Amino acid sequence: MKIRLSRDRVRGEFVKRVEMISGQDLLQCYQCGKCSAGCPAAFEMDILPSHVIRLAQMGQGEELAKANSYWICLSCQTCTVRCPRGVDIAKIMEALRLVTLRQKNRNKVEATALPMELLVELPQIAIVSNLRKMSG
């Protein structure tokens, strides 16, 4: 993957937005990889959690927009509680979801598109939590 680094990007709008929504200082991460090592959903992510943080530090919003990682994230908080630098990675994953969801018509899951059999099968807790994470 080719990455363009520049001061404008590293100090740019994308980094500011992610840091504002998550309340986290991205540069606290020193890339130890512990978050990725314990992530129960990493097997399905195209970019590992620690690499997501790295790309975010470097202001790589376009690369991250293509990633599935934060849509696969389970908000299980395992990474958050284990990070030796106190980075709340789950909050950064949420911020990345919100960067997309706060734009118009960018829902990952549409409530109205869920088939009736699925709605009957699922408990409310599944539907509400999913829509809270996957729609704006």
User: How many Cβ atoms sit within 10 Å of the Cβ of residue 54?
Assistant: 16
- Contact positions with ligand SF4 (CB under 6 A) in 63-82: 73-79
What binding mask, one character per residue, do residues 26-65 give for another protein by CB under 8 A, x or -? --------------xx-xx---------------------
- Contact positions with ligand SF4 (CB under 6 A) in 3-42: 29-35, 39-41
Q: Which two tokens stand for residue 131?
A: 């829509």
Give 21's contacts (C-beta < 8 A, 6+ positions apart).
94, 95, 98, 99
Cα-Cα end-to-end distance for the chain:
30
Binding to another protein by residue 94, rule CB under 8 A?
A: yes
Residue 44 touches which of ligand SF4, another protein, none (Cβ within 5-8 Å per kind): another protein
Identify the H or E element spanning 53.
Answer: helix 49-57
Residue 129 touches which of another protein, ligand SF4, none (Cβ within 5-8 Å per kind): another protein
